[in-house]
Chain A
C-alpha cells in the first residue's frame, strides 16, 4: 500500500526566511510519481511539480526547489526568501503507475499549513 507522510502540520515563518516542507513516502512500486500541490485560501489545488521515480535530479523553479532522495524516500520542498503570498496549505502526493490503463490516482499527505508573516 502506498502512503505519504507530511509530519509538519503547521509552520509559521517571517517573510524572507527560507522554509522546507518535508514529505516522506512509501510504495512497493519501482515506477511512481511524486507531486506537490498548493492550496491557497481560495481553495483550489494548484499543481507545482511532478517527478518520476527514475529522475532524482533536484529541481529549482524561481524561489522553489525540490529535493528528491530515493534512499530516504523523501521529496522535500524548499521555499527560499518566503513571501506572504506563499501562505497556503501544501500537499505532497504519490501516484503509482497503473498496471494497465490510465488510473493515476493520487495518495495525498495530510498537508502542511504554511503561514508567512510580514
Chain B
C-alpha cells in the first residue's frame, strides 16, 4: 500500500510568487492534516479535512494560505503571495477515521522563499 506522498519535495521561490503544494493521502483515509515546521520551531498544525470538508482551519497563519481537497482525495495548499517567513517544511498526514487517530505522515515539502 502506498504511503502519503507530497509534491514537490523542495521548492525555491521568490518573495511575492505563488506556490502550490500537493498531498496525496493513503487511499481510503478520510482525514487529512497539514502541518508546518518553521526553522528551529515546533511542528505546528495548520488545518484538518474530513473528506472534502474543512473541519478546523485554526492553525492557518493568514489569508495568504488556501487549502483545498477536491473530491475528498488529494489536497493542495497554495501560498499567494509567498513571504520570507513562509519558509519551512510543510507536512501532510492522513488517518483512517474517527476511531483510529494514528496519523501517517508524508515526507514533507521544503519551501524556501528568497
* Interface residue ranges, A against B (CB under 8 Å): 4, 33, 37, 42-47, 50, 91, 93, 95, 101-111
Contacts and interface: CB of A to CB of B under 8 A. Distances in A.
A109 B44 CA distance: 9
Chain B residues touching A, majority SS:
strand
B85 to A, nearest CB: 18
Nearest to B48: A103
What band does the interface of chain B fall in when counting residues whose beta carbon is under 8 Å from A?
Answer: 20 to 34
A104 B108 contact: no
SS class of chain A's interface: helix, strand, loop or mixed?
A: loop
Contact of A107 (B45, B95, B106): B45
Contact of B43 (A33, A42, A91, A103): A91
A102 B50 contact: yes
B1 interface: no
Interface in B44-102: 44-45, 48, 50, 55-56, 59, 89, 91, 93, 95, 97-98, 101-102
B50 A108 contact: no
Given A103-B55, A110-B42, A45 B98 contact: no
B29 to A, nearest CB: 11
A45 B43 CA distance: 11
Contacts of B7: none
A95 B101 contact: yes
B44 A108 contact: yes
Contact of B101 (A45, A102, A108): A102
A43 B107 contact: yes
B107 A103 contact: no
Contacts of A111: 42-43
A45 B91 CA distance: 9
